[in-house]
Structure formats: structure tokens, C-alpha cells
């Protein structure tokens, strides 16, 4: 069990944190400890929130639940258990059907996923590797099903979680109870555990 590198900032001492708490109460049902740790430098937390809002906003075919599933696969490749729990919970809250949540690792063949979703999820896997491994076949499939703006949205999600994966894995951010519940519900068969994020 690892001790978190950075303690979450307290709302009691940072009244402006309340606005961020409200935003996340709507999206996740709680304010993540990751954001509270960023709030030791409020400008970083606020800039992150604006980036998060912009990247995760749904204005078209790249649906809110697909964005969260892309974030999950990206986090799984990076190995961040904290972000895996958060993204699977968010996918659940944004309406991802149970057959997608239960079969995310079978996206290449499972009938719950469309060809366009398969292209996006394959891109997430390859783009999240270090170094990136996006091959020409994947690029071609991505361009077949998604336009330039939609690809920017998908890459924005992958890049946003690159930041979050690095932040939370390095800081051993303590995982919140609700996120743990969702991860245990949907990721048990994938041998998910909170690991260093147990606090």
C-alpha cells in the first residue's frame, strides 16, 4: 500500500474549489482526488478543468460514452489503475451499455461495437503505447469512419488521459469509493485492483 505523494487540497481552505467539486459531482458523482491534488496550484487545476470540459464535450458522433471507453483503453495501456476506475465509472454514468462495459477487451469482434467504434478503440490502444504504435492500416480505418474533427476529438481524449495517467500513477492518488465500486463491478474479470491507489 503506497502513501499518496500529494494530499488532496481541502475545500475548507480553498473556497474556489467548490465550483470544481460541483462540476465533478455532476459528471462522476464526486470530485476526484486528482483534481484536489492539482489544486495546490489552483491555476493548474483550473486549466485542467477547462481542457477536460472541452475535450470531453459531445457535439457529434463521438459520443460521451465512447470518449470514456477510449479513455479507459488508453489508461489500461498506460497501466494507471486510478484512471481505469474513473473512466469505466464515467462510461457507465454516460450510458455505455452493459455489453460494451463487460466486453471492452473484445471490441474487435464483439457485436456490441460498430466498425467505427472498433476503429476508434484500436486507435486508442495503439496511440497510448509508449512510443506510439499507430500503423497505417489503423490510420486508414480511422479516416474511413471518422472525419478530421472527430479524429481530433479522439486524439484529444487519448492525450488528456496521457496527462492524467502520468499524474495519478506517479502521485499514487488515493482512489475514491464510488470509482472503486464501478471498477470492481466491471473490471473484476480483467483482474483489476486498486494497487497503489488504496491510500
- Considering only 58-67, 105-114, 190-199, which range has the smallest mean pLDDT? 190-199
Length of the chain (residues): 199
Domain boundaries, the chain: 61-198
Mean pLDDT of 72-76: 97
pLDDT (0 to 100) of residue 17: 67
Is residue 20 predicted with pLDDT exceeding 80?
no
Is residue 9 predicted with pLDDT exceeding 90?
no
CB count within 10 Å of CB 181 equals 12
Secondary-structure class of domain 61-198 per CATH:
mainly alpha
pLDDT (0 to 100) of residue 14: 63
Per-position b or e across 76-99, b if 16+ CB within 10 A of its CB: bbbebbbbbbbbbbbbbbbebeee
Higher pLDDT, 95 or 22: 95
What confidence tens digit (pLDDT) does each residue in 56-70 have?
998 889 999 999 999
Residues 6+ apart with CB under 8 A from 53: 23
Helices 64-78 and 115-128: crossing angle, nearest 10°? 30
Q: What average pLDDT does the structure give for the chain?
A: 91
Mean pLDDT of 134-152: 97
Is residue 148 predicted with pLDDT exceeding 90?
yes
Mean pLDDT of 123-145: 95
Angle, vertex CA 34, rays to CA 52 and CA 154, nearest 5: 30
Amino acid at each position: 500500500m503506497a502513501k499518496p505523494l500529494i494530499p488532496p487540497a481541502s475545500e475548507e481552505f480553498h473556497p474556489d474549489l467548490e465550483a470544481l467539486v460541483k462540476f465533478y459531482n455532476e459528471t462522476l458523482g464526486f470530485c476526484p482526488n486528482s483534481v484536489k491534488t492539482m489544486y495546490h496550484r489552483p491555476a493548474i487545476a483550473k486549466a485542467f478543468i477547462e481542457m477536460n470540459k472541452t475535450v470531453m464535450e459531445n457535439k457529434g458522433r463521438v459520443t460521451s460514452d465512447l470518449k470514456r471507453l477510449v479513455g479507459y483503453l488508453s489508461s489500461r495501456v498506460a497501466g494507471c489503475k486510478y484512471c481505469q476506475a474513473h473512466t469505466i465509472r464515467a462510461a457507465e454514468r454516460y450510458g455505455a451499455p452493459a455489453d460494451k462495459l463487460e466486453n471492452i477487451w473484445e471490441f474487435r469482434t464483439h457485436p456490441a461495437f460498430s466498425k467505427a467504434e472498433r476503429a476508434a478503440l484500436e486507435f486508442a490502444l495503439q496511440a497510448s503505447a509508449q512510443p506510439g504504435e499507430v500503423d497505417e492500416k489503423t490510420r486508414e480505418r480511422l479516416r474511413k469512419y471518422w472525419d478530421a474533427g472527430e479524429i481530433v476529438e479522439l486524439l484529444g481524449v487519448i492525450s488528456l488521459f496521457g496527462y492524467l495517467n502520468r499524474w495519478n500513477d506517479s502521485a499514487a492518488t488515493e482512489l475514491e469509493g464510488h470509482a472503486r465500486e464501478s471498477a470492481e463491478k466491471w473490471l473484476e474479470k480483467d483482474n483489476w485492483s486498486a494497487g497503489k491507489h488504496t491510500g
